[in-house]
Amino acid sequence: MPEKAPSSLPRPGVFSLRRRDWAAFTARTLAGWALGYHRLVVSGTEHLPRQGAALILPKHCAYRDILVEGVVLHRYCGRFATYVMKVGLWGVLEALGGVKVIRPKDVRRLQDHQARREQINRARQLNQDTFDYLAWLYEQGELVLSHPEGMRFQGGMGPLQKEIIDHLLQVERERGLRVPLLPIGLEYESFVRPLSRVFVRIDPPLHTDQFADRQALMAALDQRLRRLSGWA
């Protein structure tokens, strides 16, 4: 299946950073201006990593979340992230730090069997490259950001997707890394009212070795995101 993590990961030196920080900085400046529509209320900024790798896992409510996340990361720890995004979004976003994946549901929605087979093959190739690149980013001490629900949910928490967690577990096992996972809650006072507040709540990091297995880790992550986003 396209969501399967790669069986072996390439060693360092294969990749170079695809994000262009000058472009990311420009986008962050424009995002800060656009977010004048909202008032950001941020708590837990002391938990943001000032250096080293981390997997950032925010609640996903709306497209504007990406603006909120980028502004908060740069404002409070002076860093940019690489965002895992669905295929089909604008290619220019890759220069700003996006990397594309084909999600299982992107394959399942295809009705034609031949088209589905072709998409499965494409997903395997594209997702393998993306997973390999993310592994390299962790080794370089970069921030990776992925919305664990896999899509937007405004009326509550969606089910968490396991692929990004499975990949991190594999990277830690094969490369001897210990990467913190940082849950971030987002709660919008209103999506349409000007100057309404957006609550950004950042929890202390989790580590995979704190949990007996992936199921326990996912349960703890789900619980934290619900609490942080007002859906406890």
- Give the lowest-confidence range in 33-37, 176-180, 191-195, 201-205: 33-37
What pLDDT, on a 0 to 100 scale, did the predictor assign at position 95? 78
- Greatest alpha-carbon pair distance for the chain in Å reads 51
What pLDDT, on a 0 to 100 scale, did the predictor assign at position 14? 74
pLDDT digits (tens, 9 = 90+) for 77-117: 999 999 998 775 555 677 788 898 877 766 666 666 777 67
Which segments of 25-126 are extended strands (E)?
Answer: 38-43, 54-58, 81-86, 98-101
The separation between CA 112 and the C-alpha centre of its own chain, rounded to angstroms, equals 31
Q: CB–CB of 203/160 below 8 Å?
A: no
- In total, how many domains does the chain have? 1
What pLDDT, on a 0 to 100 scale, did the predictor assign at position 2? 44
Position of tokens 């349409």?
192
Task: Give the whole-number percent of the chain exceeding pLDDT 90.
Answer: 63
Q: Shortest CA distance to 205 belongs to which of 184, 222, 227?
A: 184
CATH number of the domain within which 78 lies: 3.40.1130.10
pLDDT digits (tens, 9 = 90+) for 35-68: 889 999 999 999 999 999 999 999 999 999 999 9
49: left (phi over 0), alpha (psi -120 to 50) or beta: beta
- Residue 9 binned pLDDT confidence (cut-offs 50, 70, 90): low
What pLDDT, on a 0 to 100 scale, did the predictor assign at position 122? 74
Residue 14 lies in a domain: no
Residue 143, H or E segment:
strand 143-145
What pLDDT, on a 0 to 100 scale, did the predictor assign at position 58? 98
What pLDDT, on a 0 to 100 scale, did the predictor assign at position 86? 79
- Residue 3 binned pLDDT confidence (cut-offs 50, 70, 90): very low
Residue 15 lies in a domain: no
For residue 209 the two structure tokens come to 């070795």
What pLDDT, on a 0 to 100 scale, did the predictor assign at position 200? 98
The separation between CA 216 and the C-alpha centre of its own chain, rounded to angstroms, equals 20
Q: Shortest CA distance to 100 belongs to which of 127, 81, 122?
A: 127
Residue 143 lies in a domain: yes
Range of the domain at 45: 21-228
CA angle 116/120/122 to nearest 5° reads 115
* Residue 64: φ, ψ to 5°: -65, -10
Residue 13 lies in a domain: no
- Residue 10 binned pLDDT confidence (cut-offs 50, 70, 90): low
Residue 90 lies in a domain: yes
Residue 16 lies in a domain: no
What pLDDT, on a 0 to 100 scale, did the predictor assign at position 91? 58
- 200: Cα within 13 Å, side-chain hemisphere: 26
Residue 2 lies in a domain: no
> For the residues 196-200, what does the mean pLDDT come to?
97
Residue 12 lies in a domain: no
Q: CB–CB of 47/202 below 8 Å?
A: yes
> For the residues 178-188, what does the mean pLDDT come to?
98
